[in-house]
Amino acid sequence: MARTLRLPRADGTLTPYRLTGQAPVQAPGGPIRSRIAYAAVHVVADPLADINPTLEAVLDWEATLAYRRYIWSLGLAVAEAMDTSQRGMGFDWPTAKELIRRAVAEARSLPGAVIASGAGTDHLEPGPRVALADVEAAYEEQCAFIESVGGRIILMASRALAACAKSPDDYAKVYGRLLAQVKEPVIIHWLGDMFDPALAGYWGSGDTDRATETLLAIVRDYAPKIDGVKISLLDQAREIAMRRRFPNGVRMYTGDDFDYPTTIRGDGERYSDALLGIFDVIAPVASAALRALDAGDVARYGAILAPTLPLSRHVFGAPTRFYKTGVVFAAYLNGHQSHFRMVGGLESARSVVHLAEQFVLMDRAGLLRDPDIAVERMRRVVAVAGVE
């Protein structure tokens, strides 16, 4: 098949693009030892379900679980039912419950498979009558369900808490109550407002320095109940400064999709583990790079990941919350699903120009696992946009 196609550009022109011809990056088998590396994974919508996609979510269960098996086969862990799966953007809690139940059972059947699942309050609609007790009860319901199916918890940020909390003390009260109850240490997720505008002022302040101090105080007070903290602020300097202040045994899980290679590599004093949405897109490259780090080959680790940074910064470009479209688009190009449809109709959230640039950046990063399939599918996408 010809590996040249015409792609739309930001200036309104169509430009021929010829693939680089490089072989896709392959990851060796076996566990990853030097870091804990979670991929926050997407879900595969059922494209033939007779529903209103803006109001209802129906998944292709086999394709969704098959993608998790693929992630585990690369030695990566799965962060289930998180922001990447569109929690709060069309993916509801009843469907998330079923996904968590199935995915945890799937993990148990595979030696070495690691999974942790998101617990939040997304079944509680924020409103003037919602009080802290309601937020606590909503969190407790989701945590209890995850533990009941044998899962581990990632405490996601809560829109309802952001709406009703009056001070940092309210956050300390809610998180303290939850942490006192959990059976196993959890990961706390601080999701910045670039990912979700409803979370502005989280931890009780619009001043990020003050918010940081509130979270650090919670970590110090409940360290035995905290496995780690995932920071999704796209702020490398803050992440590095925070991890230096964590108690021993508390991990920093980078959520910085703009600068993950250096935070994971470390600064000689501390390093970050990973819980990243971009690892869904770059899974084989991430796996290969981390195995180079396992072998002590820091130069090769950096060289493998370097081409993925322009891609990640593009996928997570503003408005950042629509990065999920790029994640699912990558899965479509690589044959992990047969269609480019999303929960909530979110496939329309990025322009065809944006998607064309993602295709180019994936090619340059060695992330098109079957270039012929990827070219044909890219042609279909631009054809829908009117490119003959």
For tokens 């199916």, name the residue: 149
- Secondary structure (DSSP) of 6-67: EEE-TTS-EEEEE---PPPP---SS---SS-EEEE----B-TT--S-TTT---B-HHHHHHH
Per-residue pLDDT at 114:
98
Q: Determine contact, residues 57/65, Cβ cutoff 8 Å.
A: no
Please tell me the predicted confidence (pLDDT) of residue 222: 98
Pairing type for strands 14-18 and 4-8 reads antiparallel
Q: Tell me, what's the pLDDT at 44?
A: 98
The CB-based long-range contact list for 237-243 (8 Å cut-off, 24+ gap) reads 238/208, 238/212, 239/263, 239/272, 240/267, 240/270, 242/212, 242/215, 242/216, 243/270, 243/272
Question: pLDDT digit of tens for each residue in the chain (388 aa)?
Answer: 568 899 999 998 999 999 998 888 888 778 999 999 999 999 999 999 999 988 899 999 999 999 999 999 999 999 999 999 999 999 999 999 999 999 999 999 999 999 999 999 999 999 999 999 999 999 999 999 999 999 999 999 999 999 999 999 999 999 999 999 999 999 999 999 999 999 999 999 999 999 999 999 999 999 999 999 999 999 999 999 999 999 999 999 999 999 999 999 999 899 999 999 999 999 999 999 999 999 999 999 999 999 999 999 999 999 999 999 999 999 999 999 999 999 999 999 999 999 999 999 999 999 999 999 999 999 999 999 988 7
Q: Please tell me the pTM assigned to this model.
A: 0.96
d(CA 290, CA 267): 16
Q: Is 202 exposed, middle or buried (0-12, 13-18, 19+ CB in 10 A)?
A: buried
**Domains identified in the chain and CATH numbers:** 26-351 (3.20.20.70)
Q: Which residue has the tokens 């509130």?
A: 214
pLDDT of residue 54: 86
- Whole-number pLDDT of residue 3: 87
Which stretches within the chain are classed as H helix?
61-73, 93-108, 132-148, 159-164, 168-181, 208-221, 236-243, 260-265, 278-281, 283-294, 298-305, 308-315, 323-333, 352-364, 371-384
* 230 close to 253: Cβ distance less than 8 angstroms: yes
Q: Which amino acid is at 39?
A: A
**pLDDT for res 2:** 64
Q: What percent of the chain has pLDDT over 70?
A: 99
pLDDT value at residue 1: 53
